[in-house]
């Protein structure tokens, strides 16, 4: 009889600690590498400018024509990306004076994230964004599909292959320097608190939406859990969740433990944002080493800290933007 009581207490203790563990993990999302990366380059126009740069655009007027972006907005974004060290500027004409913007090594290092976003958009987006139809790896000469693998064991990795680990002490992530207000932040008629702006490549999510997806990755499935983790206002969170459910990124289901409530789980498109999230976080970890971070991922198969690498599906070599061509 005593053994049964002891076992029951252990089960009860485990049930009590699981919500606390989820809450701690969820709180680590706000102030993570992902959060910093999204603050840095996660707005609609910056992501689209970077996309066009990887597609070969380098001149101001080319960016403006391709994106239909206001001139002042483009000037400010380019200054921001140059200040971050993602672009270098070179004068190519003297009368009138004109400049071109070329990706630096730091900018080129975002290529895994661009490939992850390209893959997601090819599979899930129906907005008609201009994307390459096929990618060709010069190294092996084959058309290929980018694959996300673990840098240590080289096995393909998806959401279910990693587990979250808390590291270090809590710290507040400093907000990246930028102007007080981005011009054109309500681009394309979206951007209100209740309707997120588009991410580049057409994914209808913004910074907060991606942080919500990340919190759900970590086990925060109820409204109050997500709200507590991200410190979001009730109306803002409700608007984001509604938009994410409408797009299919999240699924809203009855809470079996409480019929008055709902739980939010990832739909297939939401699960596939995993590669976008981990590649952006890895870029921040490499190029902004002083960014505080409490959250890391461990690859279950090899037991090592997970560092994502995008490889060619044909030759399994790491992908470099300079070794890839595309068919428009």
Per-residue model confidence (pLDDT) at position 67: 92
Q: How confident is the model at residue 261 (pLDDT cuts 50, 70, 90)?
A: very high
Which pLDDT does position 38 carry in this prediction?
94
Sequence-distant (≥ 6) Cβ neighbours of residue 275 within 8 angstroms: 116, 119, 120, 148, 308
pLDDT at 122 over 60: yes
Residue 54 lies in a domain: no
pLDDT band at 5 (very low <50, low <70, confident <90, very high): very low
For residues 262 and 269, give the distance between their C-alpha atoms in angstroms, rounded to a whole number: 20
The pLDDT assigned to 129 comes to: 63
* Dihedral angle over CA of 48, 54, 56, 60, nearest 10: 40
Give me the mean pLDDT over the 239-262 stretch: 91
- On whether residue 173 sits in a domain, the answer given is yes
**Is residue 76 one of the residues assigned to a domain?**
no
Say if residue 145's pLDDT is above 90.
Answer: yes
Q: How many domains does the chain divide into?
A: 1
Quote the pLDDT of residue 2.
45
User: Which residues neighbour 123 within 8 Å (Cβ) at sequence distance 6 or greater?
Assistant: 269, 272
Average pLDDT over residues 236-248: 92
pLDDT above 90: residue 178: no
Is 224 a member of any domain?
yes
* Position 58 in a domain: no
pLDDT digits (tens, 9 = 90+) for 295-305: 999 999 999 99
Cβ contact 287:106 at 8 Å: yes
- CATH code assigned at 284: 1.10.10.10
Structural domain boundaries enclosing 156: 17-42+152-310
Q: Are 134 and 298 in contact (CB under 8 A)?
A: no
What pLDDT band is residue 188 in, cutting at 50, 70 and 90? very low
Is there a domain that residue 213 lies in? yes
What pTM was computed for the model? 0.85
């Amino acid at each position: 009889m005593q053994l049964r009581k002891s076992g029951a207490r252990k089960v009860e203790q485990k049930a009590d600690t699981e919500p606390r563990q989820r809450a701690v993990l969820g709180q680590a999302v706000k102030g993570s590498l992902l959060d910093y990366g999204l603050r840095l380059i996660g707005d609609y126009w910056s992501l689209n400018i970077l996309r066009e740069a990887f597609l070969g655009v380098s001149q101001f007027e080319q960016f403006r024509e391709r994106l239909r972006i206001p001139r002042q907005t483009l000037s400010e974004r380019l200054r921001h990306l140059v200040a971050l060290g993602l672009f270098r500027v070179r004068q190519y004409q003297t009368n009138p004076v004109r400049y071109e913007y070329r990706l630096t090594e730091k900018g080129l290092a975002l290529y895994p994230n661009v490939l992850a976003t390209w893959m997601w958009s090819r599979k899930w987006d129906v907005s008609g964004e201009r994307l390459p139809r096929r990618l060709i790896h010069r190294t092996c000469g084959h058309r290929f599909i980018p694959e996300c693998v673990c840098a240590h064991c080289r096995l393909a990795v998806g959401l279910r292959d990693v587990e979250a680990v808390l590291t270090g002490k809590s710290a507040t992530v400093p907000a990246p320097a930028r102007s007080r207000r981005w011009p054109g932040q309500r681009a394309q008629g979206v951007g209100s608190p209740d309707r997120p702006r588009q991410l580049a490549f057409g994914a209808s999510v913004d910074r907060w939406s991606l942080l919500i997806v990340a919190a759900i990755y970590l086990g925060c499935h109820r409204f109050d859990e997500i709200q507590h983790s991200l410190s979001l206002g009730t109306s803002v969170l409700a608007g984001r969740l509604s938009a994410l459910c409408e797009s299919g990124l999240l699924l809203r289901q009855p809470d079996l433990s409480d019929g008055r409530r709902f739980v939010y789980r990832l739909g297939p498109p939401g699960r596939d944002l995993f590669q976008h999230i981990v590649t952006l976080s890895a870029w921040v970890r490499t190029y902004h080493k002083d960014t505080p971070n409490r959250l890391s991922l461990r690859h279950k198969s090899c037991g090592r800290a997970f560092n994502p690498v995008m490889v060619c599906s044909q030759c399994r070599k790491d992908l470099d933007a300079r070794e890839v061509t595309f068919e428009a």
